[in-house]
Structure 1
Amino acid sequence: MSTIPVSDIPCVSLLYKLDRLKPAESSTYTPSSTYNDKIALLRNDITKLEVDSIVNAANNSLLGGGGVDGAIHRAAGPELYDECELLDGCVTGSAKITKGYRLPAKHVIHAVGPVYQSTKRQGKHTSLLQGCYRTSLELAVDNKLKSIAFSALSTGVYGYPSDEAAETAIGEVRKFLDSGKGDSLERIVFCNFTEKDEKAYFDMIPKFFPPDQTVEKKDEESPAPTSEDLAAQLPDPPTKNPSEEGQPDAKKLKSLKES
């Protein structure tokens, strides 16, 4: 399996230069070249990323499932399951950290996202999803990790609409950075596997992380690689969807306990 170094994951600044990201019509957030160099976005297999931590879309048991969860457990090997057995599960809206074992990532942060329909009826869907991202970032900082890559939490079988999930996720990351708690993090990656999730992030990123026009003007004054050269360096997107084998059916989802 070919892996992807963190240096090859395109940051927001580069995606603006390539015209892959379009500025939002309006944004209430202050442009920051520091943030735009730190936030990264790609569509690929998260098990290939050479980062300090990847965030798994886990279930309450933390013992694996289908989709991305199953793919991470398979790639990490049985040692990951063994460590997860010792964690006594995890409540919805929170996360726990383990080693990465056979993954190129050093650690796995297992975040348990909300089942959309049931938690929306309770008015908890947004706060629970925010909790997943906030706790994951806190775990990365507390463990002195420099890079973290998020999968699109709850947007698969848990039914969270991709656009709502992306807005909540990106907004919580921006809030974390504005608080100063994320200063030690060098790269925060949003790694999507499906086109619907990728589109949602491309639509929402400019709202929270607008381009820094002052940096763009400086770049225009100095020689730089062409867009074609830069684009050629981007990792190729996946050609296959993650296996759905082992995903809980609808009846089981309804019975999941939400905190």
Structure 2
Amino acid sequence: MLTNRISIIKGDITKLKVDAIVNTTDPYFSGSSVVDAAIHRAAGDRLREECDRLNRSSKSEAKITSGYNLPARWIIHTVAPLWQKGNNNDERMLAVAECYRNCLALAEEYSVRTIAFPAISRGMLGFPRREASRIAVREVKGFLERNSSVEKVVFVCLEQKYYNHYWNAVKEIIE
């Protein structure tokens, strides 16, 4: 049952004891967004050094590094798109979906059993909460239906409003 393989929690992604956490970052892995900065602080200076060797990353691409001082063994970094109000954002919604697909593909490649995602493209990037949550749950559902290597996916929310959107998306799409 898929609902046993998905959890939604309120908390700090840098504290989770999972195989991999996902980091939403910019193309240069600069540590400038809220989640990105927190992950860099918690992981330590060696993460910055490894990120400097990764070169630039393109939108929706995913790259993996060690977790260093984090409880997680791996950090999967992805570059999410910016929502632009008033524009046709179909391409950006597809790019967010691609972020999840690419992160999960790396998780499979590296034999990750447990993975935690922050809210990709929300916060500073401005994606509508409901739509971003639905994209996340839809992509994870599709992956888990085809793949048994990842045992658990955790959606990590800093605030109750984000938690509620994920909860509603799981109820609507999976249950």
The aligned counterpart of 1:67 is: 34
Query: Over the residues paired in the alignment, what is the CA RMSD in angstroms?
Result: 1.5
What TM-score, normalized by structure 2, do the two folds share? 0.95
Give the deviation of 1:126 after TM superposition. 1.1
Give the deviation of 1:121 after TM superposition. 3.4
The aligned counterpart of 2:169 is: 204
Give the deviation of 1:54 after TM superposition. 0.3
CA contact (8 A) 1:119 1:125 kept: no
- C-alpha distance in 1, partners of 2:113/2:169? 24
1:184 to 149, 152, 155: 149
CA spacing shift, 1:45–1:120, aligned 2, 3 Å: farther
- Residue 89 (structure 1) aligned with residue 89 (structure 2): no
The 4+ residue runs of structure 1 with deviation greater than 2 A are 118-123
- Deviation by residue 1:64-95 (Cα, 9 ceiling, x = unmatched): 11311100000000100100111112111121
1:129 to 88, 91, 96: 96
CA contact (8 A) 2:24 2:79 kept: yes
The aligned counterpart of 2:160 is: 195
Q: Percent of aligned pairs with the same residue?
A: 38
One-letter identity of the residue aligned with 1:160: F
- Residue 76 (structure 1) aligned with residue 43 (structure 2): yes
Unaligned 5+ residue runs, structure 2? Answer: none
One-letter identity of the residue aligned with 2:125: Y
Partner-residue secondary structure (3-state), 1:189:
strand
Give the deviation of 1:118 after TM superposition. 7.2
- C-alpha distance in 1, partners of 2:19/2:139? 20
The aligned counterpart of 1:103 is: 70
Partner-residue secondary structure (3-state), 2:125:
coil
CA spacing shift, 1:196–1:65, aligned 2, 3 Å: same
CA contact (8 A) 2:129 2:162 kept: yes
Aligned pairs for 1:213-224 within 5 A: none
- Residue 116 (structure 1) aligned with residue 83 (structure 2): yes
Give the deviation of 1:119 after TM superposition. 10
What TM-score, normalized by structure 1, do the two folds share? 0.65
CA spacing shift, 1:60–1:50, aligned 2, 3 Å: same
Q: Which has the higher strand share?
A: 2
Partner-residue secondary structure (3-state), 1:79:
helix
Aligned pairs for 1:10-25 within 5 A: none
Partner-residue secondary structure (3-state), 1:110:
strand
- C-alpha distance in 2, partners of 1:133/1:120? 23
One-letter identity of the residue aligned with 2:149: S
Give the deviation of 1:97 after TM superposition. 0.5
One-letter identity of the residue aligned with 1:104: P
